[in-house]
Amino acid sequence: MEAIAPQTWTGIRAVLTTNLYGLPDRMAALRQRCDAHGLVLIEDVAHAIETEVDGTPLGAFGEAAAFSLSKHVDAYRGGVLAVADPRLRGEVERIRAGILAEPTFRRRVVDIAKPPARALLEAAGILRLLRKTREATAERHVERPGGSHRMDLRPDALRRAIAAGPVLAAFDPWVRVDRHDYPERPSIADLKRILERLRGLDADRERRIHGVERLCGALDCVTPGARNASPLPLFRVPLLVADREAAMATLAGHGVLVRYVYDPPLDDYAGPEFIAPSSAPAAGRWWVRHALPIDPLIADAALPVLHGLQAARGFAAAP
């Protein structure tokens, strides 16, 4: 927050948090700053559905909060928008009704067939392998050509979408990345799976905290923010490695896939035409070159490979 110029706070209308990888932003200070300037605080809790700050869950600080159900909950689709003012619920439901479409016939058939097929594959021990294969091929090559970690910006199309006004449909090519069926209303099978996964969040939290502690205790390259915080159920544990792409390739060769890499930084990806330039772009560029996010749920599988990387290449020290 200290890196943001004082005049910036008086020239904006809202603040959107990140809580990257589940590491909480400075929520109490942000809340105070927003109150002082009359700003709306919106929380992105996609990576932090299980995290609390001083006993208060993330998502309870702002006027609105967005949760993902495809991250910690692992429900493959959907999310939750929470609003602090219950009087807004009717308007939110109206907007949702205008966005969502009924599932296609194909989707309904797949939803009926998927649970028994999934159980069979899981029992046979090949479900995880199929998921890794899908993540490593379809997602990267369809949405992120050329091995990029981000989809193509398509600036000309983005200019036209912005000119069309604040209409979600105009931004569909960017919103739908990796989730082309996002506008479809959840089916009964989807809702049952989501509820089942939500009931398992407490157990998931414990597994994540255990994985975070394993990684922090075994590696010197965990970022200071993750290491110094009290044990948190992080979505990913960010490490600082000398050569991230080489580390990712080595991990992939051992069946450990790395996702949620945000490279290039927005300053270089979108530029000043579409975003407000960062006050410290060099720091962002350094981070994306060296940050390696590891899923704490697979800490046991990742650690032997990471120990080998540490011995062979060393890790990057934060400047």
pLDDT of 160 strictly over 90: yes
Can you give the pLDDT at residue 267?
Answer: 93
Provide the pairing of β-strand 40-44 with 14-16: parallel
**Boundary residue ending a domain (99, 118, 144):** 99
In-domain check, residue 151: no
Q: What is the pLDDT of residues 105-136, one digit of tens each?
A: 676 666 666 666 666 666 666 655 655 555 55
Residues constituting the chain: 319
In-domain check, residue 192: no
**Boundary residue ending a domain (99, 122, 144):** 99
Select from 250, 242, 239 the least CA-distant residue to 211.
239
What's 222's domain CATH number? 3.90.1150.10
Cα torsion 181, 183, 187, 191: sign: positive
Can you give the pTM of this predicted structure?
Answer: 0.86
In-domain check, residue 150: no
Can you give the pLDDT at residue 141?
Answer: 46
Element (H, E) at 81: strand 79-83
Can you give the pLDDT at residue 112?
Answer: 66
Could you say which DSSP state residue 104 is in? P
Q: What is the pLDDT of residues 247-296, one digit of tens each?
A: 999 999 998 999 999 999 999 999 999 998 888 899 889 998 999 999 99
Q: Which two tokens stand for residue 273?
A: 């035409």
Instruction: Decide: helix, strand or coil at residue 136.
Output: helix
In-domain check, residue 176: no
pLDDT of 140 strictly over 60: no
In-domain check, residue 294: yes
Is the bond leading into 233 cis (omega within 30 degrees of zero)?
Answer: no
> 80: pLDDT confidence band, cut at 50, 70 and 90?
very high
Per-position DSSP letters for 268-310, written without gaps between them: HHT-TTTSPPPS-HHHHHHHHHHEEEE-GGGHHHHHHHHHHHH
Instruction: For residue 94, give its domain range.
Output: 6-99
Q: Which two tokens stand for residue 125?
A: 């021990």
Domains: count for the chain: 2
In-domain check, residue 105: no
> CA 155 to CA 157: how far, in whole Å?
5
**Rounded percentage of the chain residues whose pLDDT exceeds 70:** 86
**Boundary residue ending a domain (67, 84, 99):** 99
CA distances in angstroms from 18 to 24, 26, 150, 311, listed in the order given = 8, 10, 17, 33
What's 89's domain CATH number? 3.40.640.10
In-domain check, residue 124: no
Would you say 208 and 201 are in contact if contact means Cβ atoms under 8 Å apart? no
Phi, psi (deg, nearest 5) at residue 149: -85, -15
In-domain check, residue 38: yes
Residues in CB range of 145: below 8 A, 6 or more apart: 152
Start-to-end CA distance of the chain, whole Å, equals 19
